[in-house]
Structure 1
Amino acid sequence: MAMTARPATPAPEGLDGEESPRERVNRRWNEIMQETRVAQTGVQILFGFLLSVAFTPRFHGLDTFDHVVYVLTVVFGASATAALIAPVSIHRFLSGQRMKDETVEIAHRFMMCGMALLALTLGCALLLILHVVVPGLLAELLVGVVMLWFVLSWYALPLWLRRRAARRPESDEV
């Protein structure tokens, strides 16, 4: 008689014990892989476009500042790509080694690093573009506002929500 595995289901909030530790780590791994797929696609497309910029006729006419920003953008983009693909490589090397807890934690850290590097890549790419098309300090101001938005939406809001949930009394949980 063949046994079928019970699907991993998240425990409803406030009902600890509904999900086994193994189910929890498998669910967390699957979530990280889904999130990684989304981020990888975006950073790889962006990186591909960045690589082609240096081969356009207009690139050589840019000033030193723009060339420096371009180099930083490409380096950040390559680093973001590496960080966002690292969980896949780690999984391949450690698959079957009974290290899924460690793999999930390391993949989480690479994702956080990759997202920060992706934000820097996007900020530098935006600076490069706006510095060419917008006069004066307006380019830097606009990039600053966009980078602030990244910090608020990607880091500050999730951390605030996490702290808020941690402070919630157990009786408030549904």
Structure 2
Amino acid sequence: MSDAEQGASTRRGRDETAEERADRMWTELIQEIRVAQMGVQILFGFLLTVVFTPMYATLSDTDQTIYIVTVVLGACATGALIGPVSLHRLVSGRRIKPQAVRWASRLTMLGLLLLLATTSASLLLILRVATHDDFVPYLVAGVVCWYLLCWFGLPLWTRYRHTTR
């Protein structure tokens, strides 16, 4: 095998132009956003109904504050995860797809962080109301650690471990 053949067979990555790469990355990002959008929209929808239930009036001031913060976080997460769609629509055809992909990726990461906060706050509120036990913050902290491991720790470890230098 010649050096050129060996180099071609061991080379990693795709042979694509910057525009082709941006198109591929955009398609992948939109698929990822669909999953997160579905989750945040369902959670946000349920959160919006809580205030209209008779039980809401019986919540302590602390629990009502947690609820309000959770709803605001859910609204922010929804905005960040829908933002890339609006971004794409407004800049489409302007020949700036690589820049749009970068900004959409940033919005998506922000949306995931806000979804993490929304989900954690929702869990805190639900467990506080359901159990009234002192262990709830520790349980929620454990779940947050699990989310951090699944959503960020493992992907970052994989990126570090398997990215060529």
Task: Give the alignment's TM-score, normalised by structure 2.
Answer: 0.90
Q: Are residue 127 (structure 1) and residue 141 (structure 2) matched?
A: no
- Offset of residue 48 of structure 1: 0.7
Counterpart of 1:81 (choices 78, 96, 105) is 78
More helix as a share of residues: 2
**Is 2:161 the partner of 1:164?**
yes
- The 5-angstrom pairing of residues 51-70 of structure 1 reads 51-70=48-67
- Residue number in structure 2 paired with 1:142: 139
Change (3 A) 1:13 1:132: farther
Give, in angstroms, the shift of residue 21 of structure 1: 2.1
State the one-letter code of the partner of 2:16: E
Query: Contact between 2:76 and 2:114, CA under 8 Å: does it hold in 1?
Result: yes
The two structures, once aligned, show a CA RMSD in angstroms of 1.6
Q: Which moved more, 1:46-55 or 1:15-24?
A: 15-24
Partner secondary structure for residue 136 of structure 1: coil
Cα deviation, residue 136, structure 1: 2.0
Q: Within 2, Cα distance between the matches of 1:15 and 1:71?
A: 48
Alignment match, 1:5: none
Determine the structure 2 residue equivalent to 1:44.
41
What amino acid is aligned across from residue 121 of structure 2 in structure 1? Answer: C
Alignment-mate amino acid for residue 157 of structure 1: L
Q: In the TM superposition, what whole-angstrom CA distance separates every residue of 1:142-164 from its partner, at most 9, and x where no partner exists?
A: 11110011111111111111111
- In terms of mean alpha carbon deviation, does 12-21 or 134-143 score higher? 12-21
Is there any run of 5+ residues in structure 2 with no aligned partner, and where? 1-8
Deviation string 1:94-135 (CA, Å, 9 cap, x unpaired) is 000001000000000001000000010000000000001123
Q: Whole-Å Cα distance in 2 between the matches of residues 164 and 149 of structure 1? A: 20
What per-residue deviation string (whole Å, max 9, x for no partner) do you get for residues 1-33 of structure 1?
Answer: xxxxxxxxxxx9833452222221100000011
Name the counterpart of 1:20.
17
Residue 118 of structure 1 is matched in structure 2 by 115
- Does structure 1 conserve the Cα–Cα contact (< 8 Å) formed by 2:18 and 2:98? no
Question: 3-state SS of the aligned residue for 2:133?
Answer: coil
Identity of aligned residues (%): 47
Matched letter for residue 88 of structure 1: V
1:101 matches 2:98: yes
TM-score, length-scaled by structure 1:
0.85
- The runs of 5 or more residues in structure 1 that have no matched partner are 1-11, 170-174
